[in-house]
Amino acid sequence: MEVLGQARGSSSCGGSDRAGAAAAAWGGVHSGGCHSLGQAAFGLGDEAGGQVDEHGVLATALRQMVGIFAELDRRTTVKRMRDGIRAKAAEGRHATGQYRYGYEGAGKGRARDAAPRTDEQAAVARIVELRTDGESYRAIAVTLDAEGHRPRRAAAWSAMAVRSVAQREMGERATVGG
């Protein structure tokens, strides 16, 4: 018979590998998973061969308890991550996603935040300058390509990429045909 956890490719206890390791540590068991844990904690093995009845009530209860604690551990981790992201955002710092054009991540761990990227800041300043002079987004894109400024992921500037940077930096409203 296939054990619940083996069907999912995880430990034989029906939970994550961390749950199996926790179960092993809890029961003082080395590599036997839930079966050995059941033997150690509840004396589930028969006297002759030391085999565990994996269909037994106590073995099932043990697998379920290990699963419950694995889920608790996972949910606690997710909650801590969400709380950290919210706290960082409440401080006005970059909390999730990619850094906008002209900025990169600087610092380590909790102190990591957006910092200006000098090569991209030159392109941002040029976009603002050209847009202030009344240039269209398409004309700005052509100028940036000619001057050697490169977007982060594309081979060449597009009018929409220029528009996004200009609107963010200048606080422009969307215009039709700009």
The residue whose two tokens read 């969307």 is 174
Smallest CA-to-CA distance from 29 within 161, 21, 122, 173 is with 21
Q: What angle do CA 131, 163, 107 make, to 5 degrees?
A: 100
Quote the pLDDT of residue 20.
56
Specify the number of domains making up the chain. 2
Among 65, 71, 69, smallest CA distance to 34 is for 65
C-alpha torsion angle, residues 70, 76, 77, 81 (rounded to 10): 160
Of the chain, the end-to-end C-alpha distance in Å amounts to 67
Q: Which of 59, 90, 121 is the last residue of a domain?
A: 90
**C-alpha gyration radius of the chain:** 29
Residues 18 and 38 in one domain: yes
Mark whether 8 and 85 lie in a shared domain: yes
Instruction: Walk along the chain (178 residues) and give the pLDDT tens digit of each residue.
Output: 444 444 444 444 444 555 555 555 555 444 455 455 555 555 555 544 556 566 788 888 999 999 999 999 999 999 999 998 888 888 877 776 778 888 887 778 777 777 888 888 889 999 999 998 999 999 999 999 999 998 988 889 999 999 989 988 887 654 544 4
One domain for residues 21 and 45: yes
Given 60, 90, 120, which residue is the final one in a domain?
A: 90
pTM, full prediction: 0.49
Strands 113-116 and 103-106: antiparallel
Of 42, 60, 90, the residue at which a domain comes to its end is 90
| Residue in the block written with tokens 């029906």 | 14
Q: Which residues pair with 106 in a beta bridge?
A: 113
Residue 153 CA from chain centroid, whole number: 21
Tell me, what's the pLDDT at 66?
95
The answer to whether 9 and 1 have CB atoms below 8 angstroms apart is no
